[in-house]
Amino acid sequence: MVNFADQKLTAFRNKSALYSRELKPGEEVTWK
């Protein structure tokens, strides 16, 4: 069973994959 921390990390990686191309180089993401 995946623990909550791993689920959060997976969600973070999914968001990163979806939105990274929309961020300017070096721009900080605000939804961390």
C-alpha–C-alpha distance, residues 29 and 24, integer Å: 10
At residue 11, the pLDDT reads 79
Q: How many CB atoms lie within 10 A of CB 3?
A: 8
At residue 8, the pLDDT reads 82
Q: For residue range 1-32, list pLDDT tens digits in order.
A: 667 788 787 877 777 766 666 656 666 666 55
At residue 22, the pLDDT reads 64
At residue 5, the pLDDT reads 80
> What is the pTM assigned to this prediction?
0.35
Helix (H) or strand (E) holding 19: helix 4-19
At residue 18, the pLDDT reads 67
